[in-house]
Protein backbone atom coordinates (compact mmCIF):
# COMPACT_ATOMS: atom_id res chain seq x y z
CA UNK A 1 0.00 0.00 0.00
CA UNK A 2 1.17 3.56 -0.71
CA UNK A 3 1.62 5.70 2.35
CA UNK A 4 -0.50 8.82 2.20
CA UNK A 5 1.94 11.54 1.17
CA UNK A 6 0.00 14.77 1.74
CA UNK A 7 -1.70 15.65 5.00
CA UNK A 8 -3.25 18.87 3.66
CA UNK A 9 -5.41 19.81 0.75
CA UNK A 10 -3.81 21.66 -2.12
CA UNK A 11 -4.93 22.43 -5.63
CA UNK A 12 -3.48 21.52 -9.00
CA UNK A 13 -3.42 18.65 -11.42
CA UNK A 14 -1.64 16.27 -9.07
CA UNK A 15 -3.41 17.28 -5.87
CA UNK A 16 -5.41 14.66 -3.95
CA UNK A 17 -8.99 14.42 -5.18
CA UNK A 18 -12.21 14.09 -3.17
CA UNK A 19 -13.06 10.46 -2.56
CA UNK A 20 -16.70 11.19 -3.37
CA UNK A 21 -15.90 11.31 -7.10
CA UNK A 22 -14.53 7.79 -7.06
CA UNK A 23 -17.25 6.40 -4.80
CA UNK A 24 -20.01 7.87 -6.96
CA UNK A 25 -18.65 5.99 -9.96
CA UNK A 26 -18.17 2.84 -7.86
CA UNK A 27 -21.77 3.01 -6.64
CA UNK A 28 -23.58 3.65 -9.92
CA UNK A 29 -21.42 2.60 -12.89
CA UNK A 30 -21.76 -1.14 -12.13
CA UNK A 31 -25.55 -0.72 -12.00
CA UNK A 32 -25.62 0.90 -15.46
CA UNK A 33 -23.41 -1.89 -16.81
CA UNK A 34 -25.60 -4.57 -15.23
CA UNK A 35 -28.69 -2.84 -16.62
CA UNK A 36 -27.19 -3.15 -20.10
CA UNK A 37 -26.26 -6.79 -19.53
CA UNK A 38 -29.59 -7.78 -17.98
CA UNK A 39 -31.45 -8.30 -21.27
CA UNK A 40 -28.57 -10.51 -22.42
CA UNK A 41 -27.95 -12.41 -19.21
CA UNK A 42 -31.56 -13.62 -19.07
CA UNK A 43 -30.85 -15.43 -22.36
CA UNK A 44 -27.27 -16.30 -21.50
CA UNK A 45 -27.50 -19.72 -23.15
CA UNK A 46 -28.17 -17.96 -26.47
CA UNK A 47 -25.14 -15.77 -25.89
CA UNK A 48 -22.26 -17.83 -24.59
CA UNK A 49 -23.15 -21.42 -25.48
CA UNK A 50 -23.83 -23.42 -28.63
CA UNK A 51 -27.56 -23.33 -27.85
CA UNK A 52 -27.48 -19.97 -29.65
CA UNK A 53 -25.83 -18.92 -32.87
CA UNK A 54 -22.04 -18.96 -32.59
CA UNK A 55 -19.77 -17.16 -35.04
CA UNK A 56 -17.18 -19.72 -36.19
CA UNK A 57 -13.48 -19.06 -35.56
CA UNK A 58 -11.81 -16.92 -38.17
CA UNK A 59 -8.46 -17.81 -39.69
CA UNK A 60 -7.02 -14.37 -38.92
CA UNK A 61 -8.07 -12.09 -36.06
CA UNK A 62 -9.72 -8.86 -37.15
CA UNK A 63 -11.83 -6.10 -35.62
CA UNK A 64 -14.84 -8.41 -35.56
CA UNK A 65 -13.15 -11.23 -33.71
CA UNK A 66 -10.00 -9.99 -31.98
CA UNK A 67 -9.75 -13.22 -30.01
CA UNK A 68 -11.71 -16.42 -30.58
CA UNK A 69 -13.16 -17.83 -27.38
CA UNK A 70 -15.15 -21.04 -27.93
CA UNK A 71 -18.67 -21.46 -26.54
CA UNK A 72 -18.92 -22.77 -22.98
CA UNK A 73 -21.28 -25.35 -21.42
CA UNK A 74 -24.72 -24.09 -20.40
CA UNK A 75 -24.11 -24.66 -16.67
CA UNK A 76 -20.92 -22.60 -16.88
CA UNK A 77 -22.71 -19.83 -18.74
CA UNK A 78 -25.27 -19.60 -15.94
CA UNK A 79 -22.42 -19.51 -13.43
CA UNK A 80 -20.76 -16.68 -15.38
CA UNK A 81 -24.08 -14.79 -15.43
CA UNK A 82 -24.58 -15.23 -11.68
CA UNK A 83 -20.98 -14.27 -10.90
CA UNK A 84 -21.25 -11.17 -13.09
CA UNK A 85 -24.39 -9.97 -11.34
CA UNK A 86 -23.04 -10.81 -7.87
CA UNK A 87 -19.66 -9.16 -8.42
CA UNK A 88 -21.27 -6.10 -10.02
CA UNK A 89 -23.69 -5.65 -7.14
CA UNK A 90 -20.92 -6.24 -4.59
CA UNK A 91 -18.78 -3.59 -6.29
CA UNK A 92 -21.69 -1.18 -6.21
CA UNK A 93 -22.32 -1.84 -2.53
CA UNK A 94 -18.63 -1.68 -1.74
CA UNK A 95 -18.62 -5.18 -0.27
CA UNK A 96 -15.14 -6.70 -0.48
CA UNK A 97 -14.61 -4.14 -3.19
CA UNK A 98 -11.13 -5.18 -4.28
CA UNK A 99 -12.15 -8.78 -4.95
CA UNK A 100 -15.57 -7.88 -6.32
CA UNK A 101 -14.31 -5.25 -8.77
CA UNK A 102 -11.47 -7.52 -9.91
CA UNK A 103 -13.84 -10.39 -10.63
CA UNK A 104 -16.35 -8.02 -12.25
CA UNK A 105 -13.62 -6.59 -14.50
CA UNK A 106 -12.41 -10.05 -15.49
CA UNK A 107 -15.90 -11.26 -16.31
CA UNK A 108 -16.74 -8.11 -18.28
CA UNK A 109 -13.56 -8.55 -20.31
CA UNK A 110 -14.52 -12.15 -21.02
CA UNK A 111 -18.09 -11.19 -22.01
CA UNK A 112 -16.86 -8.47 -24.37
CA UNK A 113 -14.30 -10.72 -26.04
CA UNK A 114 -16.40 -13.90 -26.07
CA UNK A 115 -18.74 -12.65 -28.74
CA UNK A 116 -18.52 -9.61 -30.98
CA UNK A 117 -22.27 -9.75 -31.61
CA UNK A 118 -22.92 -8.68 -28.01
CA UNK A 119 -19.95 -6.34 -27.59
CA UNK A 120 -21.03 -2.72 -27.41
CA UNK A 121 -19.48 0.44 -26.03
CA UNK A 122 -21.07 -0.21 -22.63
CA UNK A 123 -19.35 -3.52 -21.96
CA UNK A 124 -16.06 -2.43 -23.52
CA UNK A 125 -15.95 0.86 -21.61
CA UNK A 126 -17.49 -0.89 -18.59
CA UNK A 127 -14.57 -3.31 -18.48
CA UNK A 128 -12.12 -0.43 -18.30
CA UNK A 129 -14.18 1.35 -15.64
CA UNK A 130 -14.19 -1.85 -13.55
CA UNK A 131 -10.43 -2.25 -13.96
CA UNK A 132 -9.95 1.38 -12.89
CA UNK A 133 -12.10 0.78 -9.80
CA UNK A 134 -10.13 -2.39 -9.02
CA UNK A 135 -6.85 -0.46 -9.22
CA UNK A 136 -8.13 2.34 -6.97
CA UNK A 137 -9.11 2.64 -3.30
CA UNK A 138 -12.80 2.50 -4.30
CA UNK A 139 -14.94 1.23 -1.44
CA UNK A 140 -12.92 3.07 1.20
CA UNK A 141 -15.98 5.17 2.07
CA UNK A 142 -19.78 5.04 1.63
CA UNK A 143 -19.50 1.27 1.47
CA UNK A 144 -20.01 -1.93 3.38
CA UNK A 145 -16.23 -2.23 3.60
CA UNK A 146 -16.00 1.18 5.29
CA UNK A 147 -18.64 0.15 7.79
CA UNK A 148 -16.89 -3.12 8.56
CA UNK A 149 -13.59 -1.33 8.99
CA UNK A 150 -15.17 1.06 11.45
CA UNK A 151 -16.71 -1.85 13.33
CA UNK A 152 -13.32 -3.49 13.77
CA UNK A 153 -11.29 -0.27 14.25
CA UNK A 154 -13.55 2.25 15.90
CA UNK A 155 -10.96 5.05 15.77
CA UNK A 156 -10.20 4.66 12.05
CA UNK A 157 -10.13 8.12 10.39
CA UNK A 158 -12.78 9.05 7.85
CA UNK A 159 -11.05 8.95 4.49
CA UNK A 160 -11.67 12.10 2.50
CA UNK A 161 -9.41 11.96 -0.55
CA UNK A 162 -7.67 9.69 -3.02
CA UNK A 163 -4.49 10.27 -4.98
CA UNK A 164 -4.98 12.30 -8.14
CA UNK A 165 -4.68 9.55 -10.74
CA UNK A 166 -7.71 7.67 -9.38
CA UNK A 167 -10.00 10.54 -10.41
CA UNK A 168 -8.00 12.27 -13.15
CA UNK A 169 -8.15 9.04 -15.18
CA UNK A 170 -11.94 9.28 -15.47
CA UNK A 171 -11.83 13.02 -16.16
CA UNK A 172 -9.21 12.71 -18.89
CA UNK A 173 -10.89 9.66 -20.39
CA UNK A 174 -14.17 11.54 -20.77
CA UNK A 175 -12.59 14.66 -22.26
CA UNK A 176 -10.56 12.70 -24.81
CA UNK A 177 -13.35 10.26 -25.58
CA UNK A 178 -15.62 13.18 -26.48
CA UNK A 179 -12.84 14.83 -28.48
CA UNK A 180 -12.28 11.59 -30.41
CA UNK A 181 -16.00 11.22 -31.00
CA UNK A 182 -16.26 14.82 -32.19
CA UNK A 183 -13.30 14.35 -34.51
CA UNK A 184 -14.88 11.20 -35.98
CA UNK A 185 -18.09 13.14 -36.54
CA UNK A 186 -16.15 16.01 -38.11
CA UNK A 187 -14.44 13.58 -40.47
CA UNK A 188 -17.78 11.90 -41.11
CA UNK A 189 -20.97 13.64 -42.15
CA UNK A 190 -21.68 15.96 -39.24
CA UNK A 191 -20.36 19.11 -40.88
CA UNK A 192 -21.50 18.54 -44.45
CA UNK A 193 -24.93 17.01 -43.83
CA UNK A 194 -27.29 18.99 -41.56
CA UNK A 195 -29.68 16.04 -41.16
CA UNK A 196 -27.46 13.40 -39.50
CA UNK A 197 -29.54 13.16 -36.33
CA UNK A 198 -32.79 13.22 -38.28
CA UNK A 199 -31.53 10.30 -40.39
CA UNK A 200 -31.11 8.11 -37.31
CA UNK A 201 -34.61 8.58 -35.91
CA UNK A 202 -36.49 6.06 -38.02
CA UNK A 203 -35.24 2.56 -37.30
CA UNK A 204 -35.90 -0.05 -34.63
CA UNK A 205 -34.22 2.10 -31.94
CA UNK A 206 -37.14 4.52 -32.25
CA UNK A 207 -39.05 5.19 -29.03
CA UNK A 208 -42.36 6.95 -28.45
CA UNK A 209 -40.33 10.00 -27.41
CA UNK A 210 -38.37 9.88 -30.68
CA UNK A 211 -41.56 9.63 -32.69
CA UNK A 212 -43.03 12.56 -30.78
CA UNK A 213 -39.94 14.65 -31.50
CA UNK A 214 -39.79 13.57 -35.15
CA UNK A 215 -43.38 14.67 -35.66
CA UNK A 216 -43.25 17.95 -33.74
CA UNK A 217 -39.73 19.41 -33.87
CA UNK A 218 -38.89 21.23 -37.12
CA UNK A 219 -35.80 19.99 -39.01
CA UNK A 220 -33.86 23.08 -37.90
CA UNK A 221 -34.23 21.87 -34.29
CA UNK A 222 -32.39 18.63 -35.06
CA UNK A 223 -29.76 20.50 -37.03
CA UNK A 224 -29.20 22.82 -34.06
CA UNK A 225 -28.87 19.82 -31.74
CA UNK A 226 -26.44 18.25 -34.21
CA UNK A 227 -24.10 21.25 -34.33
CA UNK A 228 -24.37 21.86 -30.58
CA UNK A 229 -23.37 18.24 -29.98
CA UNK A 230 -20.45 18.56 -32.36
CA UNK A 231 -19.27 21.75 -30.66
CA UNK A 232 -19.63 20.11 -27.25
CA UNK A 233 -17.61 17.06 -28.23
CA UNK A 234 -14.87 18.89 -30.09
CA UNK A 235 -14.58 21.40 -27.26
CA UNK A 236 -14.69 18.86 -24.43
CA UNK A 237 -11.10 19.47 -23.25
CA UNK A 238 -11.98 23.16 -22.96
CA UNK A 239 -15.40 22.70 -21.34
CA UNK A 240 -13.89 20.39 -18.74
CA UNK A 241 -10.38 21.81 -18.57
CA UNK A 242 -11.43 25.38 -17.72
CA UNK A 243 -12.92 25.37 -14.25
CA UNK A 244 -15.43 28.16 -14.96
CA UNK A 245 -16.81 26.35 -18.01
CA UNK A 246 -17.15 23.01 -16.24
CA UNK A 247 -20.78 23.50 -15.05
CA UNK A 248 -21.77 24.35 -18.62
CA UNK A 249 -20.02 21.25 -19.96
CA UNK A 250 -21.57 19.11 -17.26
CA UNK A 251 -25.11 20.37 -17.87
CA UNK A 252 -24.86 20.06 -21.65
CA UNK A 253 -23.35 16.60 -21.38
CA UNK A 254 -26.04 15.36 -19.03
CA UNK A 255 -28.80 16.84 -21.20
CA UNK A 256 -27.27 15.37 -24.35
CA UNK A 257 -27.00 11.88 -22.90
CA UNK A 258 -30.49 12.09 -21.42
CA UNK A 259 -31.82 12.99 -24.88
CA UNK A 260 -29.89 10.16 -26.53
CA UNK A 261 -31.12 7.70 -23.92
CA UNK A 262 -34.73 8.75 -24.46
CA UNK A 263 -34.47 8.78 -28.23
CA UNK A 264 -32.62 5.54 -28.99
CA UNK A 265 -34.21 2.76 -26.93
CA UNK A 266 -31.45 0.28 -26.00
CA UNK A 267 -28.82 3.04 -25.96
CA UNK A 268 -30.25 4.17 -22.62
CA UNK A 269 -27.65 2.12 -20.69
CA UNK A 270 -24.79 3.74 -22.55
CA UNK A 271 -26.31 7.11 -21.74
CA UNK A 272 -26.68 6.25 -18.08
CA UNK A 273 -23.08 5.00 -17.84
CA UNK A 274 -21.79 8.19 -19.46
CA UNK A 275 -23.96 10.34 -17.18
CA UNK A 276 -22.60 8.53 -14.12
CA UNK A 277 -19.01 9.05 -15.27
CA UNK A 278 -19.70 12.70 -16.15
CA UNK A 279 -21.41 13.47 -12.87
CA UNK A 280 -18.82 11.62 -10.79
CA UNK A 281 -15.93 13.28 -12.58
CA UNK A 282 -17.15 16.86 -12.84
CA UNK A 283 -20.19 17.58 -10.62
CA UNK A 284 -19.71 20.09 -7.79
CA UNK A 285 -18.37 18.30 -4.75
CA UNK A 286 -21.24 19.52 -2.56
CA UNK A 287 -23.77 17.73 -4.80
CA UNK A 288 -21.84 14.48 -4.67
CA UNK A 289 -21.38 14.69 -0.90
CA UNK A 290 -25.05 15.43 -0.35
CA UNK A 291 -26.15 12.59 -2.60
CA UNK A 292 -23.75 9.97 -1.26
CA UNK A 293 -24.18 11.02 2.36
CA UNK A 294 -27.95 11.15 2.03
CA UNK A 295 -28.37 7.82 0.30
CA UNK A 296 -25.86 6.13 2.57
CA UNK A 297 -27.46 7.47 5.73
CA UNK A 298 -30.96 6.58 4.60
CA UNK A 299 -30.10 3.05 3.56
CA UNK A 300 -27.87 2.13 6.45
CA UNK A 301 -29.78 3.77 9.27
CA UNK A 302 -32.92 1.95 8.20
CA UNK A 303 -30.89 -1.23 8.03
CA UNK A 304 -29.06 -0.97 11.33
CA UNK A 305 -31.16 1.52 13.25
CA UNK A 306 -28.30 2.58 15.52
CA UNK A 307 -25.16 4.70 15.60
CA UNK A 308 -22.91 1.82 14.66
CA UNK A 309 -24.52 1.66 11.23
CA UNK A 310 -22.48 2.21 8.04
CA UNK A 311 -23.91 5.73 7.96
CA UNK A 312 -21.68 6.48 10.88
CA UNK A 313 -18.71 5.24 8.89
CA UNK A 314 -19.55 7.62 6.08
CA UNK A 315 -20.05 10.62 8.33
CA UNK A 316 -17.02 9.83 10.42
Partner 1 sequence: MARKARRSEPPKKKKETAPAIALAPSPGPPWLRLALGIAGALYIAGVFIEGAGGGHLERIVPRPVLFFSQIAALFPRAATHRIEYRAEGLPCDGPAFEIDVRPFFPIHADDKESRFDRALYFYRNDRLTMEALESYVMDGYNRREPRQIAGVLFLSLRIPLPAPGSASPRYERAPLADFPKEQRKVWYVTAREAMNRRCTSGAP
CB of residue 162 to partner 1, shortest distance in Å: 5
Q: Is 154 helix (H, G, I), strand (E, B) or coil?
A: coil
CA distance 198 to 160: 46
Site for partner 1 in 60-89 (CB under 8 A): 61-64, 66-67
State how far the Cα of 4 lies from the Cα of 110, in Å rounded to an integer. 34
**Which of 73, 79, 99, 165 lies at the binding interface for partner 1 (CB under 8 A)?**
165
- Kindly tell me which of 120 and 291 has the beta carbon lying closer to partner 1: 120
Question: What is d(CA 176, CA 199) in angstroms, rounded to the nearest whole number?
Answer: 26
Asked whether the beta carbons of 40 and 107 are under 8 A apart, the reply is no
Binding range to partner 1, per CB under 8 A, among 25-33, 76-84, 208-216, 242-250: 208-216
Identify the sign of the CA torsion 111, 116, 119, 125. positive
Select 66 or 73, whichever has its Cβ closest to partner 1: 66
Stretch binding partner 1 (CB under 8 A), from 81-89, 126-134, 287-295, 302-310: 126-134
> Does residue 272 belong to the site contacting partner 1 (CB under 8 A)?
no
Judged by CB under 8 A, does residue 3 bind partner 1?
Answer: yes
Task: Check if the beta carbon of residue 81 is closer than 8 Å to that of residue 44.
Answer: yes
Quick one: 30 or 102, whose CB is closer to partner 1? 102
Name which of 296, 5, 270, 227 is nearest 123 in CA terms: 270
Nearer to partner 1, 198 or 305 (CB): 198
Query: Residue 214: is it exposed, middle or buried by C-beta count within 10 angstroms (0-12/13-18/19+)?
Result: middle
- 110 makes contact with partner 1 (CB under 8 A): no
Q: Least distance from C-beta 302 to partner 1, angstroms?
A: 26
Instruction: Find out whether 237 and 175 touch, Cβ atoms under 8 Å.
Output: yes
Q: Does 54 bind partner 1 (CB under 8 A)?
A: yes
Backbone angles phi, psi at 162, to 5 degrees: -130, 160
Given 35, 241, 265, 293, the residue binding partner 1 (CB under 8 A): 265
Within 225-264, the residues that bind partner 1 by CB under 8 A are none
Confirm or reject binding of residue 284 to partner 1 (CB under 8 A).
Answer: no
**166 near partner 1 (CB under 8 A):** yes
Report 10-29 residues binding partner 1 (CB under 8 A): 10, 16, 19
**Closer residue to partner 1 (CB): 90 or 125:** 125
Cα–Cα separations (whole angstroms), residue 210 to 92, 154, 190, 196: 32, 53, 20, 14
**Nearer Cβ to partner 1 (41/250):** 41
Q: How many angstroms separate the most distant Cα atoms in the chain?
A: 63
Number of residues interacting with partner 1: please give it, by CB under 8 A.
94
Does residue 112 bind partner 1 (CB under 8 A)? yes
- Interacting residues with partner 1 between 183 and 202 (CB under 8 A): 183-185, 187-190, 193, 195-196, 198-202
Dihedral pair phi/psi, residue 18, rounded to 5°: -60, 135
Amino acid sequence: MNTPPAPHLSSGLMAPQPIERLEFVRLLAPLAILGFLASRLVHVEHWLTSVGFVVPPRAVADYRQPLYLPPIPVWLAFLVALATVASGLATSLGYRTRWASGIFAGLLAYLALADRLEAFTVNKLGTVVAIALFASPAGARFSVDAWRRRQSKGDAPTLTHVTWGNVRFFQALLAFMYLASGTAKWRGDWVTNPHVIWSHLHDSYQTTFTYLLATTVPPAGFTLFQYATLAYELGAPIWFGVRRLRPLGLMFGLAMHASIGLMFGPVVWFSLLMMVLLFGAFAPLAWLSRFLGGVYAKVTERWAGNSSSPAGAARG
